[in-house]
């Protein structure tokens, strides 16, 4: 090989290795940036803001999405002024506060409790079902027994306020799920506040997803009624390759179409989160045998890129987002 050819060959080789090295560094640098910026949490309704703040404390310190969503939804569970979740929740028609909750992590582990009485943090019981039992769902007395055996405290969840409202309801006993509940605690000036179930979905700095969903269910439901919130695939679904989705509103409509799972599948097929949520709402409209005029359902979803979106049947559904860049309450678009 003459010197000139050797020189050309060498310079080609060295520029190739320089290119590869650069690419490697670029990749590492990019990965680092992405990892740092990943964390994001979204949740349903205005009370999601305080819940997101608690979740954010975990996420910003490189905590796991699973710990973040549990810490987040425990906030409204413990707040007696949130009358649709945990302590202070509105009772069923027999005056019993029965809670539904579920949790799911990035490895498709999931746990759930339904119709659980006397325990404020239903979500933590659901997590314990996931981590300590061979099962996924425990209900009623069995769920309570499991909680008590595992150190949870038995409490009266029916506050005077919710009890008085129930007694007033008994005068007419008209069963009509309220579309968007007004809450003077959150909007003392009498503005509209809409809230029901808290559904929360988070991605941590590792890019892993988890979700949690917890509620006292529809007010004045029949005793024993279970909604969508503790049903994996209806009120909540996580697929770490794709993203996650959660639901709020009239659970019967959500269960009918396996709402959260459907949304994740739409995202898997390339739909952005808002489009996926809209398509799920349209599926309800298409499939429901009921008149949906007074029925609210809201869906909320996030994909692996950290893009999020929501859609509801009726106006009035709000959701909250918290990340390193944003802390906001959004109004969801709606079909009607």
Q: Which residues are catalytic?
A: 197
Residue 196 binds ligand ASP (CB under 6 A) = yes
- In this chain, which of 217, 259, 309, 316 binds ligand ASP, going by CB under 6 A? 217
Among 72, 76, 251, 259, binds ligand ASP (CB under 6 A): 251
Strands 209-215 and 137-139: unpaired
Q: Please provide the DSSP assignment of 176-237 as one string.
A: ---SS---TTT-TTS-------EEEEEE-TTS-EEEEEEE--STTPPTT---STTSBTTTEE
Q: How many CB atoms lie within 10 A of CB 179?
A: 18
**Which stretch of DSSP H or E encloses residue 260?**
helix 259-268
Least distance CB 21 / ligand ASP (angstroms): 54
Pairing of strands 40-44, 198-203: antiparallel
Minimum Å distance from CB 334 to ligand ASP?
15
* Residue closer to ligand ASP (CB basis): 39 or 236: 236
**229 part of the interface to ligand ASP, by CB under 6 A:** yes
Smallest distance from ligand ASP to CB 198, Å: 9
- Secondary structure of residue 137 in the 3-state scheme: strand
User: In DSSP terms, which residues pair with 318 in a beta bridge?
Assistant: 331
Residue 89 binds to ligand ASP (criterion: CB under 6 A):
no
Q: Which is nearer to ligand ASP, 114 or 158 (CB)?
A: 114
Among the listed residues 83, 98, 205, 215, the single contact to ligand ASP using CB under 6 A:
215
* Touching ligand ASP, residues 91-110 (CB under 6 A): 100
CA quadruple 241, 279, 312, 318: dihedral sign? positive
Nearer to ligand ASP, 44 or 205 (CB): 44
Distance CA 41, CA 246 (A): 12
Give the separation between CA 39 and CA 170, rounded to whole angstroms: 46
The pair of structure tokens assigned to 220 is 């004045």
- Segment contacting ligand ASP by CB under 6 A, of 29-37, 120-128, 223-231, 307-315: 223-231
Q: Which of residues 122-181 bind ligand ASP (CB under 6 A)?
A: none
Contact with ligand ASP (CB under 6 A) among 92, 105, 228, 239? 228
Answer for which of 73, 101, 218, 313 binds ligand ASP (CB under 6 A) is: 218
Which pair of structure tokens corresponds to residue 190?
Answer: 């009498």
Under the rule (CB under 6 A), what is the footprint of ligand ASP? 100, 196-197, 215, 217-218, 227-229, 248-251
């Amino acid at each position: 090989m003459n010197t000139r050819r050797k020189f050309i060959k060498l310079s080609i080789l060295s520029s190739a290795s320089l290119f590869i090295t650069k690419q490697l560094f670029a990749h590492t640098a990019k990965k680092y940036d992405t990892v740092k910026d990943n964390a994001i949490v979204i949740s349903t309704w205005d009370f999601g803001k305080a819940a997101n703040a608690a979740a954010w404390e975990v996420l910003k310190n490189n905590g796991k999405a699973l710990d973040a969503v549990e810490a987040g939804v425990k906030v409204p569970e413990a707040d007696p002024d949130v009358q649709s979740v945990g302590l202070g929740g509105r009772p069923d028609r027999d005056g019993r506060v029965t809670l539904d909750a579920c949790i799911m992590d990035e490895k498709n582990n999931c746990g759930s409790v339904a119709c659980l009485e006397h325990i404020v943090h239903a979500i933590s019981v659901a997590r314990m079902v996931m981590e300590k039992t061979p099962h996924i769902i425990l209900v009623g007395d069995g769920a309570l027994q499991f909680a008590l055996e595992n150190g949870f405290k038995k409490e009266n969840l029916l506050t005077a306020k919710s009890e008085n409202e129930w007694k007033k309801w008994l005068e007419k006993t008209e069963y009509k799920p309220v579309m968007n509940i007004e809450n003077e605690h959150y909007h003392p000036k009498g503005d509209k506040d809409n809230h029901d179930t808290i559904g929360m979905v988070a991605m941590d700095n590792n890019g892993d997803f988890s979700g949690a969903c917890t509620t006292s269910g529809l007010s004045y439901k029949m005793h024993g009624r279970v909604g969508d919130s503790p049903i994996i695939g209806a009120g909540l679904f996580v697929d770490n390759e794709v993203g996650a989705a959660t639901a709020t509103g009239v659970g019967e409509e959500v269960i009918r179409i396996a709402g959260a799972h459907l949304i994740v599948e739409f995202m898997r097929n390339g739909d952005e989160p808002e489009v996926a949520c809209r398509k799920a709402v349209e599926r309800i409209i298409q499939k429901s045998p009921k008149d949906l005029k007074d029925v609210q359902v809201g869906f909320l979803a996030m994909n692996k890129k950290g893009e999020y979106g929501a859609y509801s049947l009726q106006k009035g559904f709000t959701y909250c987002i918290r990340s390193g860049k944003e802390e906001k309450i959004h109004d969801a678009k709606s079909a009607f």
